[in-house]
Amino acid sequence: MLARDLATEQLRRRIERGELKADSALPPERELAEMLGVSRMTVRVAIEQLAREGLLVRRPNRRTLVAGDKISRSASFMSFSEEMQARGWRPHSVVRQMTTTVADVAVAAQLNLEVGARVIYLERLRFADDEPLALERVHLPYARFAALLTFDLAQHSLYALMEQEFGVRPVLAEESVEAVLLSTEEAEIFGIAPGSPALLTRRITHDSEGVVVEAATSLYRGDRYRMALVRRR
């Protein structure tokens, strides 16, 4: 086994066994090199590999951190707020943008609208307690949810408002998931290093009548999320 592979595996095992604590700073490269019996260059290669795997988090201008425990995002249909509350965390959001725009070809197809139809665009950075976990971009049909613009979406669940204020119950979501790397801009929003792994979801949501009410894309931090599925035969 190559020295870099051996160092990567040793470091991975120390993380998995809890010898290197979650959310703690990784020891300096010199100390790690002595601990693993390899060169500092080999340590850097191992750190880069484990960062790509999501076990380590590279912070701009800060030490590398051991990733915290990951949130298992199940296939059940829950809003972000419901998921976080179920775990005993306080969900809240920073609304980065909320405006009206016109549907381009892609958005119109997703929402079953005419190209050029008026839509609401909502972009939020979602937090659990004080940690940013997801960046959410949503398009909604303006004709149905125009009054949504009067609500503070920093503190309210979108799905809860749909039900309570508009009588619309989201019941079905078609969702795809893929692994991506964060761009420089996206990483800056989360406060982590560019190229960090993330999960990108694309979701089309239907109400109880089968009408599309939402088209959304969300970026979830790869160091804090994993997908959990139950499959039956």
CA–CA dist 216, 138 (Å, integer): 4
Q: Which residue has the higher pLDDT, 22 or 75?
A: 22
Question: pTM of the entire structure?
Answer: 0.69
Which position has the token pair 């040793």?
10
pLDDT confidence of residue 170: 92
pLDDT confidence of residue 57: 78
DSSP state of 25: B
pLDDT confidence of residue 90: 78
Residues of the chain with CATH 3.40.1410.10: 71-228
Neighbours of 141 (CB within 10 A): 21
What CATH fold (topology level) applies to the domain 3-66?
Answer: Arc Repressor Mutant, subunit A (1.10.10)
Q: Which of 193, 214, 196 is nearest to 205 (CA)?
A: 214
pLDDT per residue as tens digits for the range 163-206: 999 999 999 999 999 999 999 999 999 988 888 889 999 999 99
In the predicted model, what is the mean pLDDT of residues 135-142? 97
> What would the CATH number be for the domain defined by 71-228?
3.40.1410.10
CA–CA dist 193, 9 (Å, integer): 22
C-alpha triplet 71, 223, 158: angle, nearest 5°? 50
In the predicted model, what is the mean pLDDT of residues 134-159? 94
CA–CA dist 83, 104 (Å, integer): 31
pLDDT per residue as tens digits for the range 219-231: 998 887 777 666 6
pLDDT per residue as tens digits for the range 6-28: 888 888 888 777 788 777 788 88
CA–CA dist 29, 55 (Å, integer): 17
